Amino acid sequence: MSLTPRRIGQTEVHPVGLGLVALTLDHADDPARAADVITAAIDTGIGLLDTAYAYTTATEDNHNERLIARSLRSVAPADRPLLSTKGGHYRTGDTFPIDGRPETLRRHCEASLRALNVEQINLYHLHWPDPHIPISESVGALAELQRQGKINLIGLSNVDTGQITEAQREATIATVQNPYSLFDPGDREVLAYCERHGIAFLAYSPLRGMTTRGPRLARALEELAAHYDATATQIALAWLLAQSPSLIALSGATRPETVRNSAAAATITMKPEHLEQLNHHMAP
């Protein structure tokens, strides 16, 4: 897909966003790495940084959000990417419980505001629907936070179309963040729903399953990578971006070169016959 911006609410962003969880889970003691990765994202035009209240260490609250805040200290407000975070999911030791109660979401939001050092969070997601709490109650709490000016846009993560529909009765939903990749395209129905309703679909884990792909798909990726003078990873991302103009790929990175390579995938316009070639070999 050519580098045509995608839209979140009224904001146009690069087709590739940056997921930052690995900087906490794998490199918690290396804040300089986070700064280098975020600088590379800004330099390449990436306009969305994605984090969450739950992306933290076992000993420090809001670790990933604090990393982002420190990395953006020297960036002028007008040059900062859109910040996306999530609540209703948290870490305690090595477990990650879900809690979508309104009071919990309010507490998580306040903590994220402090950690990110902002007065308003650009985009705030319900991280996971709580099976014990109606999603309408959770989203109602986010709508109240929006009315208070603490969040701008409301998103949902890890949801199905029924849950999106229920949530829309409480608030305008700007984004849905679900897994989607060439190797795990399980959310076609949700993607189609988002496209119909003007909701940006943030595809997380866009390369999930790449290391275990079948030999025919691996061969097709390598052939197309050679054709487009790209990498197999870039071809997988380009395929993903071609699935819908509503889709933004949330690609993780822990090195600046990975950020740059992922962003460059958005400049690849794949021919229809090559997209179909990958479709033929993709997971069911």
Residue 123 in contact with residue 165, Cβ under 8 Å? Answer: no
Q: pTM of the prediction?
A: 0.95
pLDDT, the chain, mean: 95
| pLDDT score recorded for residue 283 | 58
**19, 42, 66, 117, 244 from 72: Cα distances, Å:** 15, 10, 10, 10, 31
Which pLDDT value is given to residue 185?
Answer: 85
Residue 160 CA to residue 22 CA, distance in Å, equals: 26
Rounded distance between C-alpha atoms, residue 192 and residue 136, angstroms: 22
Q: Residue 281 — pLDDT band, cuts 50, 70, 90?
A: confident
Residue 2: pLDDT above 60? no
Mean per-residue pLDDT, 41-47: 96
Q: What is the pLDDT of residue 284?
A: 55
The arithmetic mean of pLDDT across residues 69-97, rounded, is 95
Q: Is the pLDDT of residue 168 over 50?
A: yes
Pairwise CA distance, residues 88 & 83, whole Å: 17
The per-residue pLDDT for range 104-154, each reduced to its tens digit, is 999 999 999 999 999 999 999 999 999 999 999 999 999 999 999 999 999
Name the burial class of residue 241, with classes exposed (0-12), middle (13-18) and buried (19+) by CB atoms within 10 angstroms of its CB: buried
Return the higher-pLDDT residue of 75 and 214.
Answer: 75
Q: What is the pLDDT of residue 1?
A: 37
Task: Characterize 225-235 residue by residue with b for buried, 16 or more Cβ atoms within 10 angstroms of its Cβ, and e for exposed.
Answer: beebebbbbbb
Identify the residue whose tokens are 């609410």. 9
